[in-house]
Amino acid sequence: MDSGVVFLIFTCFSVVGSEIHTLEYIYTALSKPVEVPGVYEFTAMGILDNEQIDYYNSKDKTKIPRQTWMSERLDDNYWDKGTSSRKSKEQWFKVNVEILMNRMNHNYSGLHVLQWRHGCQGEPQPDGTLAFRDGFDQYSYDGGDFLSFDPGHLQWVAPVSQAVPTKMKWDHSQTLNQYTEGYLKRECMDWLSKFMGYGEKDLKNQSAPGVYSRAKTTKTPGKVILHCLATGLHTRDVEVDIYRNDDHMTEADGVTSTGIRPSEFSADGTIAKTYQLKKSIEILKSDLDIYRYKVTYRGDVTAAGKWEPESDQVTMIAIVVALVLLICCIVAIVAVFLVLRYKKKVTSSRSSTTTDKELETQPLENGEPNGTCIPEAENLMHPNGEPNGTSIPEAEKLMQPNGKSKGSSPSGSIDSGRFSSKLGDTPPDSSDSSTQSLNAGGSNGSSSPRSNTPLLNGDESSGSSTSGSQRD
């Protein structure tokens, strides 16, 4: 899984309910490459209500959509700007991981992780709009909280002493703090509303998910396995629950789960179009009547009920089908035997007739009947195996590689931010228009409030700056 590492720290912060919607962006940088499939030195992704909507890694270096509606509704300009922004952040993180390692007195033999998460939460209103509920802008190092923004007091919070110099420098820049507040409460909310609109329109055109339940007999006498499968899901927002009377069954009670996994992909195989989830439990057949299931999809109960036991009629049908197949096989074998026997008899008869004719035309002394001699046929085959000494040249391969193209959609991108090149200077802002540092001192000369404010420390040099194009 190419995005698993990004949830190393921040998944516990996600709050998603049927009435609260969340848009967030998570960036993860490692201090060095690791030889683990799907884990990269730098990854970034956008997440809408726990659904990944875009993705970038340091190997492919391209921001790509993870939802069909993102691909269809956002044009090439959005993705090009997003790619430039992610490349800028990748360089920013590369520098700042090293700065934090030095600050923490960590050596280079171990693996260290720097993460940044920012986003907003909106609550639906009676008029159909989303109202700002909360915003977050947080940094984490090696799994521990390092620095976070308090939008209510317009200041940064440093839970560890190593982050205090950066907090002091950032709080000294009210322009930076006001900019961060503005992004969380306005720009982020604008994109959240837009993305929710895109996704809702797409979901309205989708078919309802399917729910299938089955009680399957096992090899163990007196036991059955209960299965409940929800499939054709267009989001991961699904729960399959199993109850014994009114008690909710969990893994501790023997419930097994496949986990939410893709069931259908887009034509190019890069986007999961639908998902499925199956849960099972093995029980005594005598207890079947007290078990029930419930499937909740996108906050609504889609299906609920009890398992029906496999009836004797189903068993009888299975036996009849097996007998029919067995009879068909026997008939086929007998038919083949009779055909082969008949062919052998015909061949034997023809051989006997040929022998009789040969005796009637006994060749003369020259070896040919009637005293004539048939000349030996000329060998017309060329040594190369072709007649008349010619050969057919091998056909040349004329196949050429194919290419792909992207769809079009409205322009613009949320992937914007401004950083200087070191973590101690200023945080990478949400607009991605430039890069700043978590280090102290120095600025990148950009117009972003963060590009003139250090991030994590107050004594390291800021280094050079890199420019970006947008925040995500």
**Per-residue pLDDT for 315 more than 60?**
no
Q: pLDDT tens digits for 448-458?
A: 444 433 344 43
Among residues of the chain, what percentage have pLDDT more than 90?
44
What does the pLDDT average to over 321-331?
79
Mean pLDDT of the chain: 75
Is the pLDDT assigned to residue 156 strictly greater than 70?
yes
Which pLDDT belongs to residue 440?
A: 45
pLDDT confidence band for 439 (50 / 70 / 90): low
pLDDT of the residue at 119: 97
Residue that wins the pLDDT comparison between 77 and 425:
77
Contact 55, 44 (CB under 8 A): yes
Rg (CA), the chain: 36
Q: How far apart are CA 248 and CA 242, in angstroms?
A: 6
| Distance between CA atoms of residues 312 and 308, nearest Å | 12
Residue 332: pLDDT above 60? yes
Distances (CA, A) of 344 to 152, 324, 341: 96, 30, 5
User: How do residues 34-56 score in pLDDT, each as one tens digit?
Assistant: 999 989 999 999 999 888 999 99
Domains of the chain: 4-203+413-467 (3.30.500.10), 210-306 (2.60.40.10)
pLDDT digits (tens, 9 = 90+) for 236-293: 889 999 999 999 999 999 999 999 998 887 666 666 778 899 999 999 999 999 999 9
The pLDDT confidence band at residue 375, using thresholds 50, 70 and 90, is very low
Give residue 327's pLDDT: 84
Under the banding of pLDDT at 50, 70 and 90, the label for residue 76 is very high
Q: What type of residue is 341? A: R
- Specify whether the CB–CB gap between 294 and 306 falls below 8 A: no
User: What are the phi and psi torsion angles at 264 (to 5°)?
Assistant: -150, 140
> 89-101 pLDDT, tens per residue?
999 999 999 999 9
Give yes or no for residue 192 having a pLDDT over 90: yes
